[in-house]
Amino acid sequence: MTRPGGPDKCGNVSIPYPFGTGKGCFQEPFNVTCNETGAYLASTEVRVLEINLTLGEVRVQNPHISWNCNYTNGTNSSNGQDVLSLDPFHKVSNTKNKLTYIGCAELAMIVGGGIVGGGIGRNQLEYLTASSCFSYCTDASSIDDSIGCVGIGCCQTSFAGNISNFVTVTAPVPGIYNSTIQSFSPCSYSFVVEDDWFKFNHSYVNSTNFASKYPDGVPLVLDWVVGNVSCSQASTMGPQYACQAMNSECIDVSNGPGYRCNCSRGYEGNPYLQGGCQDINECEPPNQSLYPCKGICRNTNGNYTCSCPSGFRSDDPKSIQCVRVNPNKAQNMAIGISASILFLMVCIFALYAEYQKRKLAKEKERFFDQNGGQILYNQIMSKQVDTLRIFTQEELKKATNDFDESGELGKGGHGTVYKGTLKDNSVVAVKRSKIMNVAETDEFVQEIIILSQTNHRNVVRLLGCCLEVEVPILVYEFIPNGTLFEFIHRNYSSLPPSLDTRLRVAQESAEALAYLHLSMNRPIVHGDVKSMNILLDDNYMAKVTDFGASKMLPKDEVQFMTLVQGTVGYLDPEYLQERQLTEKSDVYSFGVVLLELITGKTAIYHDGPKQGKSLVSSFLLALRERNLEGILDASILHSGMEMLLGEVAELGRMCLAASGEDRPSMTEVADKLKALRSTWKEKLLMEHTVTERSFVHLSPSASAPWNPPSSSMYVTVPHMTGIGVETPR
């Protein structure tokens, strides 16, 4: 496994080529320094624990455990932020390692960079990426070893690939970190560690010397490549191509650019050395246990055959013992089996048509009862439900051209929606939901009844359902102008929506959610409020839709969820932590929609080639830094609107409060938006008119692409940065 003449071990660590110690025994940059303390990668000076040639991995000792201590006597200490830097041929494995944080009420983050191209001496930081996790605990008794590192005293998270440099940092969360936590958990630790190695212990949380327990660091798995190009590129490099052995193959790696080599199937050895891949003799010990054969085994190049001796047979001699064959008996058996099969096929064919017809009828009846059809039918007959229609499967197949893909309006976490046309030429939206739990049938029917009685101009109306299929199909009114997400984030071919239009849509959406929360029967919590679930009708009036994640709650109670549902970027952090769905969960999600309306950014947006950013985090940071105009949509920044935008931003901040108790109700949000529009009505109408005229002047052709107006058409907002916003300290 090493070059001739080179040492194959350093202590108890095997050193296979292209790694090596000594001149001429390694391939750049895989030089290993060997001394009395162990083996070290010369390019990074980290200690080597194990090198895996087949997997392309090297286990090393990560010496960087970041720690920070804040004692109750007012003193504090930390070890700074050390960067672990690797060469371009080594990457931190994003499948075998986790960012790990130990402590309370702090956010831990890994900030890493990718290195590409050039080889040794030309390392270039190409991009930055970051991942984070949050841990919280109120006292030592709240920490439980048995649940592991899941966010109480300890948290772990995965991170992006293609990282050659990284640093871990921690930061207290304002408003949560307090003296009580400080008294029993004064120190916090963050580090990247091999996932299978780390086992959480509650004693780590109140430890002040956790890092000193591991003076040499913690295990870390690195992925390595022999070249920073793809296999197709490397194969044209001639002598520089690393896969030198016959019967070797090139493998493109997933963790960043690069390739490595393996021996082909049926061969073993070192693919980086000429003659390094040798045929495996599957028929000799100890390989027989890995390549079974119950008959006669014959080795071939890269493979083996297994057959029965003459006069014996087996359906699979590799796994089933060979048995002696009686030729006459076998022939008679074959004739008898053939005759029996033919007779059975004739009988089955005669009965098949009738069987299929009865089976289809029984299946429809079973699905109808299973989905609560009888309960719903009784409600309709008793006139308790008079606005709901029960459709047959054939009606909806005909309306949607058998659910043709060309008629898809969209796909979501709870099903697919198709455009359909009924016999009376009315256009509807047909939703095929995903699998429903049979135990929830009564609750599903109750939700159908309540939604059918929901009568609000800003809520998409449920017209009917089909229950004779395995998964119920719902039929809604058709809303033609797409989603609010498309309306906000499309590439404008005309002027962008005015501030008045955005506030009107926000007010209408808030009124719809307030109506659901104040339902006379049982409050309805939507559970998945986002701009993709707000539709716009012919007049661009908001219509809230998609109640696949909705829950009906008893008055003044919450719903405990075993499985979190929703969309990343809109999820209430309190809901993520407590698993309790309340009306205030919808308030938080609506706050994110409000930010989309005034910033023009998506909930997770990209600022250049970097990894996605959280709109909520960027917005709150802009408030703290008194730089609100830096994140708002430039098309709504007009002179005289500073105070209005400040009040809307303050309303968004209130909706995004960390604690649900600190958030307003949806009724209060709707009333506030209505009051703002009423107070600023004249100003908003003037701004709408000026904006429209400006864009018409700049775009003489309706078909010409929209270009933002020159900077002279906008004014700087010098006083918006501090409007009604109290910056946390």
- Return the SS3 of 158: coil
Return the closest-CA partner of residue 481 out of 541, 415, 412, 528.
541
What end-to-end distance do the CA atoms of the chain give, in Å? 59
Q: How far apart are CA 5 and CA 25, in angstroms?
A: 8
Return the closest-CA partner of residue 460 out of 444, 484, 442.
484
Q: How far apart are CA 457 and CA 507, in angstroms?
A: 13
Radius of gyration of the CA atoms of the chain, in A: 33
Return the closest-CA partner of residue 171 out of 102, 105, 244, 82.
105
Beta-bridged to residue 408, according to DSSP, are: 418
Sign of the C-alpha dihedral computed for residues 18, 20, 26 and 28 taken in this order: positive
The residue annotated as part of the active site, out of 528, 546, 572, 586, is 528
Which secondary structure element, helix H or strand E, spans residue 260, and what is its range? strand 259-263
Q: Would you give the distance in Å from CA 186 to the centre of its chain? A: 33
Residue 390 dihedral angles phi and psi, to the nearest 5°: -95, 115
Strand boundaries in 230-271, DSSP class E: 248-252, 259-263, 267-269
Return the closest-CA partner of residue 503 out of 459, 456, 545, 542.
542
Q: How far apart are CA 279 and CA 3, in angstroms?
A: 20
Q: What DSSP line would sit under 67-120, residue for residue? A: EEEE-TTS-EEE-----EE--TTEEE-TTTEEEEEESSSEEEEEEEEEEESS-T
- Which residues have CB under 8 Å from 366's CB, separation 6+? none
Which secondary structure element, helix H or strand E, spans residue 597, and what is its range? helix 583-599
The 10 Å CB-count burial string (b at 16+, else e) for 2-33 is: bbeebeeebeebbbbbbbbbeeebbeebbbbe
Residue 662 token pair: 């600190």
Question: Would you give the DSSP letter of residue 172?
Answer: E
Identity at 710, one-letter amino acid code: S
Residue 8 token pair: 């194959």
Residue 361 dihedral angles phi and psi, to the nearest 5°: -65, -45
- Which residues have CB under 8 Å from 344's CB, separation 6+? none
293: buried, middle or exposed (CB in 10 Å: 19+, 13-18, 0-12)?
A: middle
Q: How far apart are CA 695 and CA 267, in angstroms?
A: 69
Q: How far apart are CA 487 and CA 279, in angstroms?
A: 62
Query: What's the Cα-to-Cα distance from 362 to each of 356, 468, 727, rounded to whole Å?
Result: 10, 10, 65
Strands 13-14, 32-35: pairing is unpaired
Return the closest-CA partner of residue 512 out of 480, 548, 545, 544.
544
Query: What's the Cα-to-Cα distance from 629 to each of 341, 622, 718, rounded to whole Å?
Result: 80, 8, 8
373-381 vs 441-453: helix crossing angle, rounded to 10:
40
Scanning the structure block, which residue is given the tokens 């790694």? 19
User: Would residue 607 show up in a list of annotated catalytic residues for this protein?
Assistant: no
Question: Would you give the DSSP letter of residue 438?
Answer: G
Active site positions, annotated: 528
